[in-house]
Structures are given as structure tokens and as C-alpha cells.
Amino acid sequence: MSYIATIGRFFIGFFASTGRLSVFTFHGLVAVFAPPLYPRIVLQQIMRIGYYSLPVVALTSFFTGGVLALQIYYGGNQFNSEAIVATIVALGITRELGPVLGGLMVAGRVSAAIAAEIGTMRVTEQIDALTTLSTDPFKYLVAPRLIAATICMPILAFVADVIGVFGGYTVGTQSLGFNSAIYVQRTVNFLDITDITSGLIKASVFGFIIALLGCYHGYNSSGGAQGVGRATTNAVVSASILILAANYIMTSLLFAS
């Protein structure tokens, strides 16, 4: 009997959490589209979320592009198909690895930072203070972060695409002995504009997820420093899982046709 009760509790808890997140998302979206907006805070968040994430995303994508080139080369070597390295690196980076790895790295950096900041504001009554000062916390805290992350992530993904492909090119030409002109030609010839745009669309959704879960866990944190720590961890874990799940669903939809 207790076994059934445990399963029941799990599902009730799951649906309750999903419901709370859905309501939070609705309020967040209303805050994004209803005035007043805070352009100065949106710009600040664009700097924090986008600009300061550039080094992390650039390094991650460069090495990923390089490793991808090596793996495809060694794998393709067994079937005498080393020539596909440039094409597969370009497709892999633009379609999947640029947006997904970039999203996961930004989730680790930005979701945690948002959850910690808003969580600290919650436990030190700063969010209550905002409310008593006639300022809607959703408009002042949540909406600017949602807007900034949704704008910044496609830009970061595009940067990741360029640097990732460059990482593959560097390893391909410097270490694997490919001719530079041929490598570039094979990259460009087989790369379609939809490969890039599909990755950027995904990245935009990932940006929304990253900011949403950072805000959600921070906003609902309680219990002092320990509660803020828990919110930070939950934000990163749930954002990462949701990014991977959303990636699967969007890939199914975008490439089904």
C-alpha cells in the first residue's frame, strides 16, 4: 500500500510542479508583452547573459569542433571516407552542437546566476519591497531576463557555429592534413541556410528556458542561504534537462519534412 502511496505522491508532486511552472510561465509572458517595459534593465541583462557568456561559448565550441573533426576522421578512416569530415563538422555544429552545447554552458552560467540573484532577493525580502513600492516583480525582474536570454542565445549560437566550424577547420588543416581550400569548399557546398536557421530557432527557445527556470526557482526559493543554494542547483539541472527534451521535440518537428 505504501508503495502505491509513494507513486501517487510522486505523480501529484510532478503535476503540481508542472502546474506552478505553467502559471509562472503565463505570468512571465504577460509581463513580457504588457507595458511598462524596462529597456535599461533589458540592456543590462543582455550584457550579463550574452556578452559575458561569449568566452565560455567560444571556447566550448572551438574544442567541440576540433574533437568532432578528429572523431569523424578516425571513424571515417575505417571506410575510406575521411573526405566527409568538413561536411559533418559543419552540419553537426550548426544543427546540434552549437545550440545545444552552447545552451547547456549558458544554462550552467546564467540559470545559476539568475536563480541565485532572484533567490537572494526573495529571502532578504527585496521582492516584497518591490511589491510595496508599486513595482511588479514579474515586469521588473522576470520579463527583462526572459527577453534578454531569448535575444542573446541565437547570437551566441551563431558565434558557436562560426567558431566550432573554425575549430574543425583548424584541426582538419593543421593536424589531419586537409587542403584548406577544399575543406572550406566542402563546408560551404553542403551547408544549407536551414541548417543554420534551425539551430538559431532552437537556441532562442533554449534561451527562454534558461531564463525561465532561473527566474522560477529563484522566485520560489525559501529557507535562507540553503534554500538559495537548492534553487540554484534545481535551476541548472531542470534547465539542462528541459533543453535536451526541447531539442529532441524541435528536431523532430523541424526535420520531419
Partner 1 sequence: MITLKNIEKSFGAKQVLRGVSLDIEKGQSVVIIGGSGSGKSVLLKNILGLMKPDRGEIIIDGINTVGLSRSARSKIDARIGMLFQNGALFDSLTVWQNVAFSDIQTRGIGQDEARIIASEALRRVDLKDDVLDLYPAALSGGTHKRVGLARAISAKPDIIFFDEPTTGLDPIMTDVINQLIVDCVKDLGATTLTITHDMTSVRAIADVTAFLYEGQFIWTGNRDALESNDNPYLRQFMEGLPEGPIRVEGATA
Minimum distance, C-beta of residue 35 to partner 1, in the bound complex (Å): 12
Minimum distance, C-beta of residue 141 to partner 1, in the bound complex (Å): 11
Residue (220 or 247) nearer to partner 1, CB: 220
Residue (38 or 63) nearer to partner 1, CB: 38
Interface residues with partner 1 (CB under 8 A) are 120-121, 124-126, 128-136, 140
Output helix, strand, coil percentages for the chain, rounded to the nearest 5: 90, 0, 10
| DSSP-based three-state secondary structure for 112 | helix
The residues, ordered by sequence, that sit 6+ positions from 246 with a Cβ below 8 Å of its Cβ are 202, 205, 206, 209
Residue (34 or 241) nearer to partner 1, CB: 34
Residue (31 or 86) nearer to partner 1, CB: 31
> For the chain, what is the radius of gyration of the CA atoms?
21
Q: Considering only CA atoms, which of 94, 96, 100, 69 is closest in space to residue 193?
A: 94
How far is Cα 117 from Cα 104, in angstroms, rounded to an integer?
19
Minimum distance, C-beta of residue 183 to partner 1, in the bound complex (Å): 47
Minimum distance, C-beta of residue 119 to partner 1, in the bound complex (Å): 12
